[in-house]
């Protein structure tokens, strides 16, 4: 069995995931994990499947045929996991919305060699004032060679510049 990673995007519609899952199952594949969401009327996801090597051609053909239903799928071979030892850290951020927050935070993370494993962001009105608040939750893979105090200090400096509240905590 070979691991494949599928990315999918389509206008949101009932049965979309079932059609994708049907293609995988029809070729002897196993759905291993996925992250999927609906946003602004679109549906997007990433899926890791296990499929027999001899079934790749047929699976690719069937997934490409989904384009006639407005479902775009791309395939990639599963990559290797990053080497080294990492600590899982949860980052939570809240502040007034403004352009560039994601760019600025991810720049600091990249400079420190931190891998972003999961990111969820949202802009929504604040409960009392109605001002737009930007919130982010991220799961970070922090190299064990990076002192957490150093990462915390660098992010706190940025948080002061951005005028956001930022919290880091170790994942259990």
Residue ranges of the chain with per-residue pLDDT less than 50: none
Nearest alpha carbon to residue 126 among 157, 165, 158, 161 = 165
pTM for this entry = 0.81
Q: What is the distance between the alpha carbons of residues 144 and 170, in angstroms, rounded to a whole number? A: 12
Strand segments (E) across the chain: 2-11, 30-39, 42-51, 72-77, 86-96, 115-125, 132-143, 164-170
Architecture of domain 2-77: 2-Layer Sandwich (3.30)
- pLDDT digit string, tens, across residues 23-42: 999 999 999 999 999 999 99
pLDDT value, residue 1: 67
Tell the residue number behind the tokens 């196993």, with chain if given: 30
Q: What does the block give as tokens for 163?
A: 């005028």
Q: What is the distance between the alpha carbons of residues 89 and 58, in angstroms, rounded to a whole number? A: 40
Asked whether 7 and 46 are in contact (CB, 8 A), the reply is yes
Annotation: CATH topology of 86-170: Alpha-Beta Plaits (3.30.70)
Which segments of the chain belong to CATH 3.30.70.260? 2-77, 86-170
pLDDT value, residue 162: 84
């Amino acid at each position: 069995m070979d691991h494949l990673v599928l990315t999918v995007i389509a206008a949101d519609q009932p049965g979309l995931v079932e059609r994708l899952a049907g293609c995988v199952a029809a070729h002897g594949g196993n759905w291993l994990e996925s992250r999927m969401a609906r946003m602004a009327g679109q549906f997007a996801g990433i899926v890791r499947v296990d499929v027999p090597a001899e079934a790749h051609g047929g699976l690719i053909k069937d997934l490409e045929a989904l384009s006639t239903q407005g479902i775009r799928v791309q395939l990639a071979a599963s990559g290797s996991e990053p080497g080294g030892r990492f600590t899982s850290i949860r980052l939570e951020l809240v502040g007034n919305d403004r352009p560039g927050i994601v760019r600025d935070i991810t720049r600091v993370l990249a400079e420190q060699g931190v891998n972003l494993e999961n990111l969820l962001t949202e802009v929504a009105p604040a409960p009392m004032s109605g001002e737009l608040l930007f919130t982010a939750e991220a799961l970070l893979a922090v190299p064990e060679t990076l002192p957490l105090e150093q990462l915390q200090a660098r992010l706190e400096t940025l948080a002061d510049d951005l005028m956001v509240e930022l919290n880091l905590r170790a994942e259990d």
